[in-house]
Amino acid sequence: MMDTTLATFENDVVVASQQAPVLVDFWAPWCGPCKTLGPMLEKLEAEYQGGFRLVKVNSDENPELAQHFNIRSIPFVVAFVDGQPVDQFVGVLPESQLRAFIDNLMPNPADTERRAAYTALDEGRRDDAYRHLQTALTLDPAYDEVRLDRTEWLIEDKRIDEAREELARVSPKVAQGIDSRYNAIKTQLDAVEIVAELPPPEELSSKIERDPADLEARFDLANWLIAEKRYEPALEQLFEIVLRDRAFKEDVGRKTMLSVFDLATGRPEIVSAWRRKLSAALN
């Protein structure tokens, strides 16, 4: 068990969950149920002998993290696997239900291949990483998260046609539903495709400098920045669009900001700050 803060969250949770599932327990000293759940989770962490990692967040001392996860009641537990939040619960569960919750996070063979893919990627063995993802899909063709992994990597490798084909294979329940990761990756892919037809960023910046009300140039520059994964300056341009004209391209500034928030889940300090700014601007 360890404590984390906004400053250390990415390393303690997002990065660590690439190796084993991480349970993030939001609690507070005044919370009675937290005093029941916490020791239960600590006991199970010891019993599972490294099968998962328990990380505690004092919600009173870390309000930005509590806001980032839209927490309304504690104890609140969110599970991270492979850098992504995958499940959660509120309140105190019986130990049998806690075990079932944790067991559901444990890797199956396709998960093992997915982890091997990320290990290979971290070690610079990109071809091996792709092979592991393909094996995972052979074991579980309906594993949408692996398809999204592969789409992300293909975008990074500028294999755009293949990325679009892979994204099209994602199940309809994900593609047509409200899936933040799918929407974020689609935004990234759209941006990469759009910028191929756009003027260079320097030219767009000059246009904005000459005419700050040129929202088309701001949106084009935001797409360049999204394509380059420079999320904070992209949010600056999109926020300016929101401030100047909510109706521009059917509220594209706000809608694209929400997708960028999903793209930047590993940077909660950035997301929290810009969520606050957007909320204040809309109220």
Which of 6, 20, 28, 31 is labelled catalytic?
31
Which of 23, 34, 65, 226 is labelled catalytic?
34
| 8-state DSSP, 13 | I
Contact 253, 239 (CB under 8 A): yes
Alpha carbon separation from 2 to 22, 23, 138 (Å, rounded)? 11, 11, 37
Contact 70, 58 (CB under 8 A): no
Q: Which single residue is written with the structure tokens 């998260």? A: 145
**Alpha helices of 49-200 — where are they, by DSSP H?**
63-68, 95-103, 109-122, 126-139, 144-156, 160-168, 172-175, 180-195
Contact 14, 266 (CB under 8 A): yes
- C-alpha 21/C-alpha 81 separation (Å) is 5
Catalytic (active site) residue 34: yes
Q: Letter for the amino acid at 165?
A: E
Catalytic (active site) residue 124: no
If DSSP codes are grouped into helix, strand and coil, which group holds residue 161? helix
Query: 87: part of which helix (H) or strand (E)?
Result: strand 84-90
| 8-state DSSP, 16 | G
- C-alpha 17/C-alpha 5 separation (Å) is 16
Q: How far is CA 171 from the centre of its chain?
A: 19
Catalytic residues: 31, 34
